Amino acid sequence: MMAARRPLASLPTPLQRMSTLESRLQSGPVYLKRDDLTGFVVAGNKARPLEFLLGDALERSCDVLVAGGAASSNFVAAAAVAARVCGLDCHALIAGPAPARPPVTLALAERCGATLHFMPAAREDLDRLVEQHADELRRLGRRPYPLPRGGATAVGALGFAYATAELATQLAAAGHARHDEVVVVIPTGSGASLAGLLAGRAAIGVGWRTYGVSVSRPAKQLSTEVLELAGQCAALTGTPAPAGPDLHLIDSVGAGFGRVTDSDRGSMLLALTSEGVLVDPTYGAKAVTAAVRLLEAGERAPLVLWHTGGLPTALHQLTTPEEWR
Ligand SMILES: *Cc1c(COP(=O)(O)O)cnc(C)c1O
């Protein structure tokens, strides 16, 4: 099946060697897959699933996206901008009260004309509320396209399934044809990106060891969800379903989603001062920490660290002095 795709991102994103970090850590080759440079607003990795989600929504003649997330959600912001660019409306359900000073993510959604609904609900309840809201819109004669958090549907996962072939080509060009020696580390929230990677990995038959660094969901729950999603995604493309042993999860939830620790700040500074790369404290810094620990524990290289974006949160962290004490 050929999935409908609405181009949004500038692809391929660069695969960048991190030589300074390598010599600091005395490790083998370390690469950064620069999905912070997908080029669609500050969507980072979210531009990839949205290409397929918007493609699907347009093909089904939907007229309104319904998305949910925290006020600082990169996915909600990117979905609102993508909806506007593609001529659809967007209704965004935001967990919690309206913030006095909206973060960049929420401001982007507002500037693009999204209808914001602030819900007295936990982030975990939003997927159900998004479905309810879509039902209400249907009763009003609209054609909604409901999106679970992070765009974690089989269609959304196609974005990273296709990214697998992109990375394989770049690794081969960099001289790493022995793909069973490659380690991939990616920060994981909803699991849509990781599920797509697993589906793509099985589809093209590469043996990368893939680590998901879980920042919000308990590893056991996430593992079930990711494998289910990866299987559904593989079914869409008619490729083999990934197996359980393909999935490695590192639990980095720590004190909870979005709670910034000294170790996160340390990893932000490590990426910034060694490579001039800005990572966010919620996702990227935790993946840097995990990658450094893997290398220090003797994990083989080449290692590819997936930079998933998060620029709004990274800048907020940098410009909030009390966060650095
Ligand atoms: C959404 C997001 C992730 C996690 O991607 P999932 O597909 O939800 O697992 C990682 N990093 C950043 C910056 C994100 O916005």
Question: Which ligand 1 atom sits closest to the C-alpha of 190?
Answer: 8
Atom of ligand 1 nearest to the CA of 192: 7
What is d(CA 234, CA 45) in angstroms, rounded to the nearest whole number?
20
Ligand 1 pocket test target in 13, 37, 42, 190 with most atoms within 8 Å of CB: 190
* Confidence check: pLDDT of 204 > 70: yes
For the segment 185-193, the average pLDDT, to the nearest whole number, is: 97
Contacts for 34 with CB less than 8 Å, ≥ 6 apart: 13, 14, 15, 16, 307
Rounded mean pLDDT of 31-51?
A: 98
Task: Compute the radius of gyration of the chain from its Cα atoms.
Answer: 19
Ligand 1 within 6 A of 35 CB? Answer: no
CA 310 to CA 284: how far, in whole Å?
7
CA distance 273 to 308: 19
Mean pLDDT of 244-252: 89
Q: Spell out the residues 6+ positions from residue 296 whose beta carbon is closer than 8 angstroms to its own.
A: 25
pLDDT at 188 over 60: yes
Residues 75-85: what's their mean pLDDT? 98
Instruction: Provide the mean pLDDT of the chain.
Output: 95
- Between the alpha carbon of residue 187 and those of residues 116, 152, 197, 214, 282, the distances in Å are 27, 14, 12, 6, 9
* Chain Cα centroid distance, residue 318: 21
- C-alpha of 244 from chain center: 21
- Where residue 250 falls among pLDDT bands split at 50, 70, 90? very high
Would the pLDDT of 38 be above 70? yes
3-state secondary structure of 7: coil
Instruction: State whether the beta carbon of 44 lies less than 6 angstroms from ligand 1.
Output: yes
pLDDT for 1 beyond 70: no
* CB of 190 sitting under 6 A from ligand 1: yes
Give the whole-angstrom CA distance, residue 222 versus residue 148: 15
Listed in sequence order, the residues at least 6 apart from 10 whose beta carbon sits closer than 8 Å to its beta carbon are 37, 38, 39, 40
Q: How does residue 226 score in pLDDT terms, banded at 50, 70 and 90? A: very high
pLDDT of 309 over the 80 cut: yes
Query: Which residue, by CA, sits nearest to atom 15 of ligand 1?
Result: 74
Read off the pLDDT band of 189 (50, 70, 90): very high
Give yes or no for residue 309 CB within 6 A of ligand 1.
yes
**Residue-wise pLDDT tens digits, 269-303:** 999 999 999 999 999 999 999 999 999 998 878 99
Q: What is the C-alpha separation between 23 and 277, in angstroms, rounded?
A: 16
**How many residues are listed for the chain in this entry?**
325
Give the three-class secondary structure for 183.
Answer: strand
Distance from the CA of 180 to the center of ligand 1, in angstroms? 25
170: which residues sit within 8 A by CB, 6+ positions away?
12, 15
Distance from the first to the final alpha carbon of the chain:
54
pLDDT surpassing 90 at residue 177: no
How sure is the predictor about 321, in pLDDT bands with cuts at 50, 70 and 90? confident
Any atom of ligand 1 within 6 Å of the Cβ of 144 = no
Does ligand 1 come within 6 angstroms of the Cβ of 189?
yes
Top-confidence residue, 123 or 89: 89
Q: Percentage of residues in the chain with pLDDT exceeding 70?
A: 99
> In this predicted structure, what is the pLDDT of residue 239?
95
> Does the beta carbon of 212 sit less than 6 angstroms from any atom of ligand 1?
no
pLDDT-derived band at 181, boundaries 50, 70, 90: confident
The answer to whether residues 20 and 72 touch, using CB atoms and an 8 Å cutoff, is no
